[in-house]
Amino acid sequence: MSEELLGRARAWLAQDPDGQTRAELRELIERAEAGDTDAAADLDDRFRERLQFGTAGLRGALGAGSNRMNRVLVAQAAAGLAAYLLEKDAAAADADGDDDAAGPLVVVGYDGRRNSDVFARDSAELFAGAGLRVALLPRLLPTPVLAFAVRHLDAAAGVMVTASHNPPDDNGYKVYLGGHDDGSQIVPPADAAIAAHIERIAAEGDISALPRSVAYETAPESLVDAYVEATAQVAPAPAGAEGLTWVYTAMHGVGWETLSRIVERAGYPQPATVTAQLEPDGAFPTVSFPNPEEPGAMDLSFQTARAAGADLVIANDPDADRLAVAVPDREAEGGWRRLTGNQVGLLLGWRAARRAAEEGAAEGASLACSLVSSPALEAVAGHYGLDFHATLTGFKWISRAPGLVFGFEEALGYLVNPGTVRDKDGISAAVAILGIVAEARGRGATLDDLLAEFDGTFGAYASDQVSLRVDDVSTIGRIMSALRERHPSSLGGIEVERVDDLAAGLEGLPPTDALSLGLAGGSRAIVRPSGTEPKLKVYLDVRGDSHDDAAARVAALAQGVRDLLDDLAGR
């Protein structure tokens, strides 16, 4: 092991304020110095690179080292963000001659993951020490409450400490900007500017030299009350809500306290709850992966729903910015079927477009979704005279669509209340779904009936996703390179007619590492690396003559993609 790398590890150890990661790192250094090759390899993984700050902020495994989430890395990130905000504020003051003596305001929130509260308080102290005004949310709360707070308090920025639905040993640092960014997540060039400040802080060395202060505020409960009130107004309970039986799980996250208040305020019956998953627990003991999309994650929900004779199941992910919905299905294993993110998104988009048209607000209004989400949303927008925007993946892009009244992405993310939260919000989406179900129930219909009505109105669309999870992320790069060099002539028996490399910034979109394969008959496959997990994802969309025809086409296409990925991965 190189002495240079050992020097980095020793320098990190000297500034680490956390007893646990300090002990972890000291043991690794001692073992590596004694010739332990496993320890040397571990140190190399931790210090050869640095966890990069980008448009998703920071996200990674907890542990000591520059390539892990820990108090040193978070302190550097907080100090770098503070420097960026002060620089931006000074430039604005020079431009308009109005110097805000109080300084910019930053709101900090945190969820129930391990060390989330520690990282949040470290950040608050460092922001305050740098001369910023700081409001720390009063307790662990959902990510949408933080996103709401940035706009509600007219803050310059917001930080949410969360890794959303990532594995239990991960944590993250998500940044929002106020002002002209209107409470959306950061996009270029802000991410690069913040990253440059973070790199400078890191290069200067010891974080113990950074000024700290406990002169920060705790945000009042009235802030949470305002979010509850605004979200309850998304869909006050209609007549069909009486007698509605539903199940809710928080997936060991922070959604329940807030959602239960909103449900009561909006007038819906309280759900039967998955008690084993209701309270925040960063160990996520009942699931192998705290993501409602993952196989088995909703098994306890289905068990509770069978016992309750429920009409539907609603699940939030651990920080409650995503929503999953399931319905009874006699043919499904266990008697329940989770709707896809596209199905839920299209129902919510249909609701939003119809309301805009009914209120005479369609002109200039728009629906938006990520380019890997169902193209059926464009058909909905056209039907009601709304504009439509396809964006890059991520709500940092969707939230910026002009005239937005609704946006979604197929990964269970929905923006249903853009006037208050400019990000995906699994709680307001849950209330909107309850409204849809209750309205349908009032006329004797179910969500499955609504999906059939959708097909009859807009056409039969079907979507699927094939994912390749890897241990070595370089495998993803090799597969993307291979596809760029020579794309397949067909997939699942469907001819590939066109290939667009989105790295070139196709159709006015910023460049992104993705390939779009246009297939015969209007089908498509979009290949892209995941932004948060070691996965390669392929998104499939077809339009058929009927529901069954579309389902058969997308199934054949999915099998063709699996065969291709297995071949390229050498499996």
Tell me the per-residue pLDDT of 264-279, one tens digit each, with 9 for 90 and over: 999 999 999 999 999 9
- pLDDT tens figures, 255-266: 999 999 999 999
Residue 205 has pLDDT above 80, yes or no: yes
- pLDDT tens figures, 166-195: 999 999 999 999 999 999 999 999 999 999
Q: What is the Cα–Cα distance from 228 to 233, expressed in whole angstroms? A: 9
Task: Count CA within 13 A, CB hemisphere, residue 495.
Answer: 3
Q: How far is CA 457 from CA 17, 409, 452, 462, in A?
A: 60, 21, 9, 15
Residue 204 has pLDDT above 70, yes or no: yes
Residue 249 has pLDDT above 90, yes or no: yes
Residue 95 has pLDDT above 80, yes or no: no
Task: Count CA within 13 A, CB hemisphere, residue 337.
Answer: 11
Residue 224 has pLDDT above 90, yes or no: yes
204 within 8 A of 172, measured Cβ to Cβ: no
Q: What is the mean pLDDT of the segment spanning 223-236?
A: 98
* 265 phi/psi in degrees, rounded to 5: -65, -35
Residue 448 has pLDDT above 90, yes or no: yes
Report residue 519's pLDDT band, with 50, 70 and 90 as the boundaries: very high
* 74 phi/psi in degrees, rounded to 5: -65, -40
H or E stretch covering 82:
helix 71-96
More confident residue, 17 or 506: 17
When the pLDDT of each residue in the chain is averaged and rounded to a whole number, the result is 94
Q: 69-80: b or e for each residue (b if 16 or more CB lie within 10 Å)?
A: bbbbbbbbbbbb
What tokens does 78 get? 């907080």
The pairing of beta strand 157-161 with beta strand 105-110: parallel
Radius of gyration of the chain (CA): 24
For residue 181, what pLDDT is reported? 95
For residue 54, what pLDDT is reported? 80
Q: What is the mean pLDDT of the segment spanning 8-28?
A: 97
Instruction: Return the percentage of the chain with pLDDT > 70, whole number.
Output: 98
Report residue 99's pLDDT band, with 50, 70 and 90 as the boundaries: low
For residue 444, what pLDDT is reported? 95
For residue 98, what pLDDT is reported? 63
For residue 239, what pLDDT is reported? 87
For residue 2, what pLDDT is reported? 87
For residue 368, what pLDDT is reported? 98
For residue 37, what pLDDT is reported? 95
What tokens does 409 get? 């992405």
Residue 101 has pLDDT above 70, yes or no: no
For residue 131, what pLDDT is reported? 97
Residue 102 has pLDDT above 90, yes or no: no
Report residue 423's pLDDT band, with 50, 70 and 90 as the boundaries: very high
For residue 570, what pLDDT is reported? 80
The least confident of 51-55, 203-207, 288-292, 310-314 is 51-55
Report residue 103's pLDDT band, with 50, 70 and 90 as the boundaries: confident
Report residue 222's pLDDT band, with 50, 70 and 90 as the boundaries: very high
What tokens does 43 get? 């140190």
Report residue 55's pLDDT band, with 50, 70 and 90 as the boundaries: confident
More confident residue, 243 or 508: 243
What tokens does 41 get? 């390899």
The three-state secondary structure class of 320 is coil
For residue 386, what pLDDT is reported? 98
Is 184 designated active site?
no
Q: What is the Cα–Cα distance from 174 to 158, expressed in whole angstroms? A: 8
For residue 93, what pLDDT is reported? 84
Q: Is the peptide bond preceding residue 188 cis, with omega within 30 degrees of 0?
A: no
80 within 8 A of 201, measured Cβ to Cβ: yes
The three-state secondary structure class of 20 is helix
Kindly report the number of other CB atoms within 10 A of residue 312's CB atom: 23
For residue 100, what pLDDT is reported? 60
pTM of the prediction?
Answer: 0.94
Task: Count CA within 13 A, CB hemisphere, residue 95.
Answer: 6
For residue 140, what pLDDT is reported? 97
Residue 57 has pLDDT above 70, yes or no: yes
Q: What is the mean pLDDT of the segment spanning 433-439?
A: 98
Q: What is the Cα–Cα distance from 471 to 106, expressed in whole angstroms? A: 37
Residue 510 has pLDDT above 90, yes or no: no
Q: What is the mean pLDDT of the segment spanning 136-143?
A: 98
- pLDDT tens figures, 379-404: 999 999 999 999 998 999 999 999 99
Q: What is the mean pLDDT of the segment spanning 325-333?
A: 95
Residue 129 has pLDDT above 70, yes or no: yes
Catalytic residue among 66, 116, 164, 523: 164
Residue 508 has pLDDT above 80, yes or no: no
Tell me the domains of the chain and their CATH numbers: 49-219 (3.40.120.10), 221-443 (3.40.120.10), 459-569 (3.30.310.50)
For residue 571, what pLDDT is reported? 66
The three-state secondary structure class of 99 is coil
Instruction: Return the percentage of the chain with pLDDT > 90, whole number.
Output: 88
406 within 8 A of 299, measured Cβ to Cβ: no
Q: What is the Cα–Cα distance from 315 to 272, expressed in whole angstroms? A: 12
Task: Count CA within 13 A, CB hemisphere, residue 255.
Answer: 32
